[in-house]
Amino acid sequence: MTVYAIIGGTGLTQLEGLTLSEELSLDTPYGAPSAAIQRGEYAGREVLFLARHGHPHRIPPHQVNYRANLWALQQAGAEAIIAVNAVGGIHAAMGSGHLCVAHQIIDYTWGREHTYFAGDIEHVTHIDFSYPYDEPLRGKLIAALQALGHAYSSHGVYGATQGPRLESVAEIARMERDGCDIVGMTGMPEAALARELELPYACLALVVNPAAGKSSGIITMAEIEQALADGIGKVKAVLARVLSE
């Protein structure tokens, strides 16, 4: 039976309902991961959980040690990864509370340690990244959303920005022209690192605010926090449905 790892983003720093069996404080060749990896039972199944931003939520997107996180999860026994991401909505369908199972990604980040194939390596290695997300795992998320009746999109292009600031109206307009449907700060290099480790990886994105210029007012943290509070229960229900299948 596949051992799933869940990477929790903003709003999901702990997985309530997880029957904890152990916490693993692992070191890696790339330093320490964001937090201890929790191993336990969720929805009747063994699962690993890692808080991407630490617990408490303290590590900004551009300072997350993505290489250590993915490496540690694999060392802990992860065989597939479901990443939960809080995002802004660019496409008109992506209103607050909407769930999106991304199918493509555009990387606008810079300066992040983004590959394991660097430094003293024996040969140059290239991975195929045509389709960043694992299709069978995406299918499981989509089936769970269908069964639960939540508003969702089965496809979406994730634009990954550097952060920690939110984007300007002009930046969002450019991303929209590029074909982005949602915008977040943690989608890369996480997805590419999972591919380098040959770990099936999929993204469940919760829209928590309209992107810059997509509403009449400015974006406030209060509105984002309220959308997270309202939507994270749906995220947990989807995760439980996938794991229980």
Q: Which CATH architecture has domain 4-111+129-244?
A: 3-Layer(aba) Sandwich (3.40)
User: Residue 158's beta-bridge partner residues?
Assistant: 105, 182
Mean pLDDT of the chain: 92
pLDDT the model gives residue 73: 97
Q: How confident is the model at residue 140 (pLDDT cuts 50, 70, 90)?
A: very high
Binding-site residue set for phosphate: 10, 52-53, 186
| Residue range 189-217, pLDDT digits in tens | 999 999 999 999 999 999 999 999 998 77
Q: Considering only 44-48, 75-79, 122-126, 190-194, which range has the smallest mean pLDDT? A: 122-126
31: how many CB neighbours lie within 10 A of its CB? Answer: 12
Burial of residue 235, with CB atoms counted within 10 A of its CB: 0-12 exposed, 13-18 middle, 19 or more buried: buried
pLDDT the model gives residue 11: 65
Binding-site residue set: 10, 52-53, 185-186, 209-211
At 80, which amino acid appears? A
Every domain of the chain and the residues it spans? 4-111+129-244
| Residue range 159-191, pLDDT digits in tens | 999 999 999 999 999 999 999 999 999 999 999
pTM to 2 decimal places = 0.93
- CA distance from start to end of the chain: 11
Mean predicted confidence (pLDDT) in 118-139: 88
**How would DSSP label each residue in 58-100?**
---GGG--HHHHHHHHHHTT-SEEEEEEEEEE-STT--TT-EE
pLDDT the model gives residue 217: 74
Mean predicted confidence (pLDDT) in 128-152: 96
By the 8 A CB rule, do 205 and 158 touch? yes
- 236, pLDDT greater than 70: yes
- 133, pLDDT greater than 90: yes
The rounded percent of the chain whose pLDDT value lies above 90 is: 73
In 3D space, the residue among 34, 171, 187, 174 whose CA is nearest the CA of residue 109 turns out to be 187
| Residue range 93-123, pLDDT digits in tens | 999 999 999 999 999 999 999 999 887 777 7
- 238, pLDDT greater than 90: yes
- 13, pLDDT greater than 70: no
By the 8 A CB rule, do 159 and 183 touch? yes
The rounded percent of the chain whose pLDDT value lies above 70 is: 98
Binding-site residue set for substrate: 185, 209-211
- 235, pLDDT greater than 70: yes
